[in-house]
Structure 1
């Protein structure tokens, strides 16, 4: 096992740890640890809400989830000799739930959760159809996930970090804030908002204190979106065996990681759509000097996915086009097309007895494949969503016999109002 360079104690909150990480992006956050090039390390990670979500049958914690506190990230990790213009080479050697802790209150201790966020608290990909908060709890048995809230489904998780990235430069941070502020200004009262501006409230900035903390907290970027440094990309295939090449913008690269997922479908469509958990990740870190110019990778990571994904051989795929539910034609709107494909899949699964919310949870948590299938044939783009048929206890393929109804059980808990 590699040396643990960022340890976490499950009995303590994130801010009470031996080494304190951060929940905002800012170049002035000092490195929490320093490692040599060509070294392997283990990093402990907390689930993104630091224990605010519970293993129970209420969704009130999802309704009240404190978005101002996320994501709690382990890092920054400085790599010896890394300079702006280099590429940081990150090999994911292993990743999983909290080791030897398989029954306890923290997500990652034998269980995880998926949430549909209420529109007023972030929403989700299908927030117009699902405006309220719901939660599903999943139990882990080895690599398999099952849920008392979504019966008749089990699948092997593609375990991965939802969020990993390098620190931005001051210039890059300024560009993020300027362009996102301009977007917010186009509709400042929108719910959910168009973007999340800097928020000093609940900011955790590692070792920064005093005036330096106050100054940085006022301009530090939220961790919710993916950006040029990587960040919250939610790529389900960044699993064990993957190699990622990140642009380096500051000395040391200052890599941070968190938001571990036991499993996720393409798009993480419910917003908290993966199976969220805490755990560990083993990384090998190295540098390609001058790699950004050598390979033309000046923004956004490139990666080589691992080969440990579960192997599904049969799929049922649904398609959608860029036409709204009320019949309005949109021009090559691939986002809308994927929404329509997902809604078609949800409608289909309800014929087997699942509630719409259970079906939505399946698409968020199970290893579905999402694809842009046609983006050139005006006016309609086409997107597709592929469901692996083997994850269901019943045969979901269409036949003359009709759908086999499952018992939906207690269903997915909905929050009170």
Structure 2
């Protein structure tokens, strides 16, 4: 193994706030709502180092025993995370028939955040906690539900982290089960779940994403990039989870390379007036990288998700640059890629990649 495990409390912790994925700091299968108590209070602009746990290896169809599950793939017990063992062995009140699989760390109250504002969540750092991951196809829920898995059992492909000659870390999978030949692919760690609490006293299921964010699975949200979310409750009550080492757009087999991360996230409140000037009125998540503005669209129907994303992109260009809607529509057709975020989380996701360099020299629209 090329990486030492980052057990709770051990190893590098970048920020003054540290939130382990233990005890009351986690929800399993549900996302926070307004009725939940924050496990940490911070100021806008603060960084928080957070341990996240992959659900792969702890679920019932994998034996709910990560020592045994990963041991079956040759992983020494030293490399199995203590917090994964603890939650799998706990009596956490999760009903697999009605709750999701994801372990979520939080919620975090950001002082001063209120409905109408945006919460900006920036991934500052993402450190692998283990040198392996799992890619599963289960419960006939992938992009080809009538074809895979081919039997009744969950198929969980074990993937290892390796290093190329230049020291670059890559993921590996065998070409044939148990075979020696490997396919190697780039790693790009990110969080599949970044979100804010919903109003009311009902915790949402952890699988379908929505205006609150949640399980959006946008693989552009690697270190250095940000997600903006409309605040729904006082304090925002933010959370993270569903860590990935790698994912292709679409995530067609149901999961990607799921593996636990220690992340540092910066939380910043964007007041309503500033939010309106920068982005217009957002009704759902918006990502931002150095190169792209990334509006999103979501729906049970993929065609509708694309339509929602196109409308969001047109609205964004109008609010930010004063661009006429018919010209924004034309520009998007000529110059913008629309990518499938995922097709496996009940609510399907699409995101657009609008190049900010195309608007160099264009003044921001004053509204």
Q: Distance in 2 between matches of 1:247 and 1:241?
A: 20
| Runs of at least 5 residues in structure 2 that lack an aligned partner in the other structure | 1-13, 63-68, 75-94, 164-168, 292-300, 305-336, 341-349, 351-367
Q: CA RMSD in A?
A: 3.0
1-structure distance, mates of 2:339, 2:29:
31
Q: Is the partner of 1:169 in helix, strand or coil?
A: coil
Cα pair distance change 1:334/1:288, threshold 3 Å: closer
- Quote the Cα distance in structure 1 between the aligned partners of 2:224 and 2:284: 20
Q: C-alpha deviations, 1:150-172, integer Å up to 9, x for none?
A: 543101211110111111123xx
TM-aligned CA deviation for residue 371 of structure 1: 4.4
SS of the residue 1:226 aligns to: coil
Match of 1:126 in 2: 144
Taking the TM superposition and a 5 Å limit, the aligned residue runs for 1:53-64 are 53=62, 54-55=69-70, 56=72
* 2:228–2:286 contact (8 Å) kept in structure 1: yes
CA contact (8 A) 1:7 1:18 kept: no
Deviation of 1:280 after TM superposition, in Å, equals 1.0
How far does the alpha carbon of each residue in 1:210-268 deviate from its partner, in whole angstroms, 9 at most, with x for none? Answer: xxxxxx5xx42201011011110111111111021111011111111000000011011
1:301 aligns with 2:285: yes
Partner of 1:114: 135
Gaps of 5+ in 1: 9-13, 59-64, 99-108, 171-215, 308-331, 336-368, 373-382, 384-417
Which of these residues, 255, 262, 265, is aligned with residue 280 of structure 1?
Answer: 262
The answer on whether the counterparts of 1:229 and 1:299 sit within 8 Å (CA) in structure 2 is no
- Aligned pair 1:48/2:55, yes or no? yes
How far apart, CA to CA, are the structure 2 residues paired with 1:261 and 1:80? 29
1:155-190 CA distance string (max 9 Å, x none): 1211110111111123xxxxxxxxxxxxxxxxxxxx
Indicate how the Cα distance of structure 1 residues 2 and 246 shifts in structure 2: closer, same or farther if over 3 A, else same.
same
Deviating beyond 6 angstroms after TM superposition, the runs of 4 or more aligned structure 1 residues are: none
Q: Could you tell me how far apart the structure 1 residues matched to 2:51 and 2:302 are?
A: 39
- After superposition, the Cα gap between the structure-2 partners of 1:271 and 1:297, relative to the gap in structure 1 and judged at 3 Å, is farther
| Aligned partner of 2:211 among 208, 228, 232 | 228
Offset at residue 147 of structure 1 (A): 2.3
Q: How many residue pairs are counted as aligned between the two chains? A: 243
Q: What do the CA deviations read for 1:269-292 (whole angstroms, capped 9, x no partner)?
A: 1112x1111121111111111155
Q: Which residue of 2 aligns with 1:264?
A: 247
| 1:301 Cα deviation after fit | 1.3
Task: Give 1 or 2 for the bigger CA radius of gyration.
Answer: 1
Q: Is the 8 A contact 1:44 1:281 kept in 2?
A: yes
Find the aligned partners of 1:114 and 1:158 in 2 and give their Cα distance: 15
**TM-score, length basis structure 1:** 0.53
Judged with a 3 Å threshold, the aligned counterparts in structure 2 of structure 1 residues 157 and 77 are, in CA distance, closer, same or farther, namely same
Distance in 2 separating the partners of 1:113 and 1:81: 39
CA contact (8 A) 2:100 2:205 kept: no
3-state SS of paired residue (1:37)? coil
Does residue 18 of structure 2 align to residue 5 of structure 1?
Answer: yes
Contact 1:74–1:258 (Cα < 8 Å) also in 2:
yes
Change (3 A) 1:141 1:4: farther
Matched residue, 1:61 = none
Is 2:173 the partner of 1:147?
A: yes
